[in-house]
Amino acid sequence: MHKPLTRQNRFDAAREDAGMLELGVCYYPEQWPREKWDEDARRMVELGLAWVRIGEFAWSHIEPQPGTFQWEWMDEAIEVLGCAGLKVILGTPTAAPPKWLVDRYPDILPVDARGVVRKFGARRHYCFSSRRYRVEAARITEAMVRRYGDNPFVHAWQTDNEYGDHDTIHSYSDEAKLAFREWLAARYGTIEGMNHAWGTQFWSMHYNSFDEVDLPNNLVEEPTPTHLVDYYRFSSDQVKSFNKAQVDIIRRHSPGRPVTHNFMNQNTDFDHYEVGEDIDIASWDVYPMGGLINGRLSAEEKARYLRVGDPDQTAFNHDIYRAVGRGRVWVMEQQPGPVNWAAHNQSPADGMVRLWTWLAYAHGVDMVSYFRWRQAPFAQEQFHAGLLLPNSEVDQGYLEVAQVAEEMARLPQGERRGKAEVAIVLDYESRFATRALPQGQGYAASAIALDWYSAIARLGVDVDVIGQHSDLSGYKLVVAPDLVIPDADFIARLKASGAKALFGPRSGSKTRDMHIPADLPPGPLADLIDFRVTRVESLPEYHSEAVLYGNISHAVTGWRELIRTNETVLATFEGEHRQGGAAIIGNDHTRYVGTLPRGEFLGRLMGDTLRWAGVESLSDLGDLRLARRGNLRFAFNYGNAPASVPASATAEFLVGGRDLAPVDVAIWTETR
């Protein structure tokens, strides 16, 4: 007997039906004449779209003056879209408080690290710590959810928009200072507890009360790293509590509808796992062209991948947000063409919008929404492409979405992304630690982790992203490129899991108070592998060290550790400085790397590590990438030459074929 589809169980039914790809689009009815709405909705449905997101920047249109609400236009927009057959995702409009609110309460504005107030005129102009803004954000959220919580066309909610965009997590306002002091008092209990953790006996930094503590900006030198990491923790907690306040309102007045937030690429300014605990679906905004320009690759590699993007950055983020969403992930904004905000804004190659869509599905995404429906001919984003040109003609992205919609019908429903055999650890506190204490110009933990992920992906192996809280059952290999602050419980569970483990440099190097462990690094990791790090050095790019790994010498730079150990030495440093020092060590279940392998060295290390862990892999795939979702296999060609898909002779191709053209996708099943 089937349950009736009520508000209470609609989300449960959506979970049961998950496994099929749905498409959507971001739309701004307030930006277009009313006479366009019906035609736009009809064309969206004809294209094959099922979802439409609206409302996340609509506050001044909803409440143009204090307490004066104009809902009629939104009522009508939701009616038009819903009656056409579209499911509405309604965004709370708190990412863009209106001018009248800023003028009435100027203390809601954020303050940058120089102490300069960031003014009205764009978006995200609020401080997470402003008590007044929290009241106002809750007020507009409640008004919106009370009005539309039962609306049959509203199927999901998005809180705010892009936490962290344009460096807006960290504010240095008076409100933030007061909130930080309260946070410290709750964390430490006594001022002496904080003094001990911060090491304030150094440089005469002792505090007599929490009321004396300032924010860690505009200092003559750097603050104590514990002060800085605590500020990052505090700022992260402010995001979580701000978001949760909206989620609680939505759950109270719109039960049964899933709640999401659209996170950003490569952002580690706050703990996404913590925010993810309060939402139903993690979504993120996918802009591979800007991600390439701002990313880790060399200038030569960026030129090579200019119109296709970093072959691994987007996939890595899909896997991150699948973890944040506990298995449920959407793309809320998929780039459909050139954008406007990067240092350079190149056009993606024809076919990439289609490729990115299928890449998302292969990595567990259930809904891909394109930003935006029509290119705006005005304001800040008028160079940002949409599915339509400003005059409503179809653009390239529209054609590729139409192709995806046709191809969707060829695939079986109900296929889900399974658990991988390999997991990579992303720990946000450890990222805070390396940001506070990089010990070397240019040290970038996010880029190092992506390098490790990429080296595994190039060997045709799926990877899950996990945190220290995650279930470890089923993994054959856990890799941790930068687990600076390991949790003893995580280490104990890892030891009990039976998985092999590979740790990168700096892992275990700091306590939660940002101190060197009492018995030297690697702290709790010593329960897995017996060694001590007695010295570290960061090396400039113009200098490299040689590491002998097997019978091949590899150049490394950036980081080197002096390791004292009785474990098996798997690689050694060569050269004049301390020749023969251990670079990689290991035992039956754990290995540790005391430098930063890159390129061929990293690829070889990951291949050896996969074999050691009993994980099947392929030879280096070059520009080809593979993924699995249930019984479906996927191949993506990021190169400029045809590639051969490594499918069996009896494979049944549903999309594409064995010979894969550049910027093309193949989807197949293997017969049993």
- Alpha-carbon distances, residue 68 vs 65, 78, 100, 104 (angstroms): 5, 20, 12, 15
Distance CA 73, CA 456 (A): 50
Inter-residue contact 369 to 23 (CB < 8 Å) = yes
On whether the CB atoms of residues 358 and 632 are closer than 8 A, the answer is no
Instruction: Tokens for 594, please give them.
Output: 């005391």
* Alpha-carbon gap, residue 432 to 520, rounded angstroms: 20
Q: Are 668 and 387 in contact (CB under 8 A)?
A: no
Q: What is this structure's pTM?
A: 0.96
Catalytic residue among 56, 136, 333, 400: 333
Exposed e or buried b for every residue in 217-233, given b needs 16+ CB within 10 A?
eeeeeebbbbbbbbbbb
Q: Are strands 643-644 and 659-660 parallel, antiparallel or unpaired?
A: antiparallel
- Specify the residue for token string 């802009």: 287
CB atoms within 10 A of CB 193: 13
Exposure string over 14-51, b if 16+ CB within 10 A, otherwise e: bbeebbebbbbbbbbbebbeeeebeebbebbeebbbbb
Candidates 56, 136, 162, 407; catalytic one: 162
In sequence order, which residues have a C-beta less than 8 Å from that of residue 241 and are 6 or more positions away? none
Please list the alpha-helical segments (H only) found in 48-116: 59-62, 72-83, 99-104
- Domains in the chain (CATH in brackets) are 10-170+241-408 (3.20.20.80), 422-613 (3.40.50.880), 624-669 (2.60.40.1180)
Nearest to 482 by CA among 178, 162, 268: 268
Which of helix, strand or coil describes residue 670?
Answer: coil
d(CA 228, CA 236): 12
Annotated active-site residue 162? The verdict is yes
Q: What is the pLDDT of residue 18?
A: 58
Q: Which residues of the chain have pLDDT under 70?
A: 1-18, 672
In 313-352, DSSP assigns E strands to 329-334
Look up residue 584 and give its two tokens: 């990689």
% of the chain with per-residue pLDDT over 70: 97
Type and span of the H or E element at 24: strand 22-26
**Cα(first)–Cα(last) distance of the chain, in Å?**
34
Which one, of 450, 404, 126, lies nearest residue 309 by Cα?
450
Grouping H, G, I as helix, E, B as strand and the rest as coil, residue 15 is helix
Whether 520 and 541 have beta carbons less than 8 Å apart is answered as: no
Dihedral of CA atoms 97, 102, 104, 107 in degrees, nearest 10, equals 110
**Rounded to 5°, angle at Cα 107 from 220 and 176:** 45
The total number of residues written for the chain in this structure: 672
DSSP string of 192-245?
A: HHHHHHHTTTGGG---SSGGG---S-S-SSPPPHHHHHHHHHHHHHHHHHHHHH
CA distance 566 to 276: 42
pLDDT at 671: 83
Per-residue pLDDT tens digits for 560-616? 999 999 999 999 999 899 999 999 999 999 999 999 999 999 999 999 999 999 999
Give strand ranges (E) for 574-658.
Answer: 582-586, 590-593, 624-629, 632-637, 643-644, 652-655
Strand residues in 400-467 grouped as ranges (E):
422-425, 463-466
